[in-house]
Structure 1
């Protein structure tokens, strides 16, 4: 099961640690955020203790108006073994009762100056992207004219060399060799690179190169939505390849259908240019311009309007 460490949340949002340092290694499994308003009033029947708890001005203002015994009770019940972290937003001061209860349970307590609603949205989006259904695919992911293209194929077919040529032509590398793919929403797949090989590209005979160092920050991109899967394969003379593009092949990744193109590789073919054209053609099709369909319609019209040989003889 995917998870995010509490320490990752602290680093991502520059949170100020106020208590429970020993709990920074706690794991977060849920992307949902809880604002425990009812819990501050004493209603814990459906308390989602496994979520990050965000306390804003409303919750803490109500809490500060409670009797001392009630404040201690609320915080002791708020801090459970399952609770990954508690965050006081909007610059609110952390109550003493929360310090004591969190330290006793080893729960990290943070403070941020970001407005509560805005911070909750940012945190939820971050967790959703990290905890979304994920798979890993062997291939290369590039950003070509804003279109995410996942290049696949057997080892040594030329995926990395093609990506290098695309970068030299002004496009951007997202991931080489291994692509992590997350389904962040229905029919939306986002591809990223594992941290260990981020910005790196392997070229046989040269070795591993750092694309950002060689070509600058504009040559790399952190993530992109995948729109096309382009498979490279050795050219087979006996195989019939699609020459019109009328039948759009599909491939499923984590239940999401993507357009798939199969491109045969042989000496003399400029794969970088082919991929550029594939990206532009994909964008045109989404705008309603389909050259293959238009050609087919024109051909049908010509055939339909041409008199038959029998009619000519009569």
Structure 2
């Protein structure tokens, strides 16, 4: 977090490895005033102009007592915004208790917004699934299917058409909130695409920076399956199917494969069709209304 936000370490350099386990930051205004019920002690504590100005107005004895009472709970760290100075009293307590005291020139609102988003992502529950994650025209898609079905080859075709790879083989899914699933790579496979008979390919080196992005919101789960003869594939099915990951439901589509099918084109079509549905238009419902006009 110190490197991410370029924070100045005022005190507690030796304690920068203290774990942060909660995703939302907290402003301890009530706690400095003496109210400790519901104090979220595991959260990063942010001190803005209100908190620092309040502490400056106290007598030396009152300030020492109020700060000591808050520091006693050992939160992960304190971050002072607006590059405020006159922090000698905070510095002394933080050094004594081994708690990092950090400072940033950002405004309180700006820092809290950025820190909340960053911590929510870093501390989000996550799982790893076998598949390929791509971003098609701004729409995040998880491609799944049995090994050898053609997921990576489909991703390659999509990349050549101007879309982006996010992760190949090992896709990390992060649950940002009850409705949002983020797809990313595990770090090791970043920018790599594994192709049978060809080997590993670095898509950035081959196709340029625009062929890759670090993460994307997953809004479609597409499963590639083998075509079965005499199987009825009802393409006008109105009922949406879903796959669930960590409690987040994602629209699910199956694409049967057979020689000659443009699988990448079907993935593109599914992405654009999903976007139209989010805008309130359903081609299937429109078609059914034409069949049965009122």
Q: 1:281 to 1:46 in 2, by over 3 A?
A: closer
Partner of 2:153: 161
Which residue pairs with 2:61 in the alignment? Answer: 69
Deviation at 1:172, TM superposition (A): 0.9
Matches of 2:51 and 2:218, distance apart in 1: 41
Paired residue for 1:133, among 122, 125, 134?
A: 125
Stretch of structure 1 that moved more, 114-123 or 239-248: 239-248
Deviations 1:214-257 (A, max 9, x none): 22221112222211111011222143222324332222222222
Aligned positions of 1:209-220 closer than 5 A? 209-220=201-212
Change (3 A) 1:59 1:228: same
- In the other structure, the counterpart of 1:284 is 276
Instruction: Measure the CA separation in 1 of the matches of 2:125 and 2:30.
Output: 31
1:158-237 residue pairs with structure 2 within 5 A? Answer: 158-237=150-229
The structure with the largest helix share of the pair is 1
Residue 70 of structure 1: SS of its match in structure 2? helix
Distance 1:134 1:82 in 2: 28
Answering whether residue 71 of structure 2 is matched by residue 79 of structure 1, we say yes
Give 2:267's match in structure 1, choosing from 268, 275, 280: 275
Deviation at 1:81, TM superposition (A): 6.0
User: Hey, which bits of structure 1, 4+ residues long, moved more than 6 A?
Assistant: none
Question: Superposed, which structure 2 residues align to 1:1-314 within 5 Å?
Answer: 9-80=1-72, 82-93=74-85, 95-300=87-292
For structure 1, the residue ranges without an aligned partner over 5 or more in a row are: 1-8, 305-314
Q: Unmatched 5+ residue regions in structure 2?
A: none
For the Cα contact (< 8 Å) 2:32–2:66, is it kept in 1? yes
Q: CA RMSD in A?
A: 2.0
- TM-score, normalised relative to structure 2: 0.92
Q: How many angstroms apart in 2 are the aligned matches of 1:47 and 1:224?
A: 34
State whether residues 172 and 218 of structure 1, in contact with CA within 8 Å, keep that contact through their aligned partners in structure 2.
Answer: yes
Partners of 2:224 and 2:197 lie apart in 1 by 20
Matched residue SS, 2:256: strand
How far the C-alpha of 1:43 sits from its partner, in A, is: 3.2
**Once the two structures are superposed, what CA deviation does each residue of 1:240-275 show, in whole Å capped at 9, x if it has no partner?**
222324332222222222211111122222211111
Q: Is the 8 A contact 1:81 1:105 kept in 2?
A: no
- Contact map agreement 1:138 1:179 (CA 8 A) in 2: yes
How many residue pairs match? The answer is 294
1:176 alignment partner, SS class: strand
SS of the residue corresponding to residue 9 of structure 2 reads: strand
Q: Secondary structure at the match of 1:194?
A: coil
What is the CA–CA distance in structure 2 between the aligned matches of 1:254 and 1:275, rounded to whole Å? 24
Structure 2 distance, partners of 1:94, 1:23, is: 22
C-alpha distance 138-50 of structure 1, shift in aligned 2 (>3 A)? same
Q: Could you report, residue by residue, the CA deviation over 1:187-218 in whole angstroms, capped at 9, with x for unpaired residues?
A: 22221222222222111222222222222221
Report deviation, 1:138: 1.4
